[in-house]
A and B are shown apart, each in its own frame.
Chain A
């Protein structure tokens, strides 16, 4: 989220705005927002209505949380971009900014499954991320 904060002026210049959706209690999100000095709102989805309706609900953990994901919705309410993160692959704020600047083509990002070259590249990136970020298990 800090990355989005740092790129927020650029996001606005590219003609878009931003909001975070969190299932945490409002007080917790308010604290986080203040702590990180976020210029955009955090939507408090305590009832899990948004995460369920948008299909990013992870029922298995901590009483139900969001699957990390990014959507871009245009002014007509249409989803133009959707990226659901996996444990080893997360779309970055820079990627989103590049997407906006490219004119917001319709775009879905999922980890590729069938192309061997992509799988190798994906595996390489996964190992790289593990070494770089040290995978945190949700069970820890």
Chain B
């Protein structure tokens, strides 16, 4: 049973990104974490 682990580890700096959200608004990591820590839930998508 292999453990799956991400390349991004606790203690790393999360790489910035700039993408649109589903409302068409541009979102960057910088903006998303500015007021408070942010939980990022990665969704595998629809079947």
Q: Give me the interface of A with B, judged by CB distance under 8 Å.
A: 1, 4, 11, 15-24, 26, 28-30, 32-33, 41-47, 49-51, 53-56, 58, 62, 65-75, 77-82, 84-86, 96, 100, 104, 106-108, 110-113, 119, 122
Contacts and interface: CB of A to CB of B under 8 A. Distances in A.
A17 B14 contact: no
Given A43-B27, A55-B6, A66 B44 contact: yes
Contact of B27 (A28, A29, A41): A41
Interface residues of B, number: 42
A66 B40 CA distance: 12
Interface of B: 1-17, 19-25, 27, 29-30, 32-46
Contacts of B34: 75
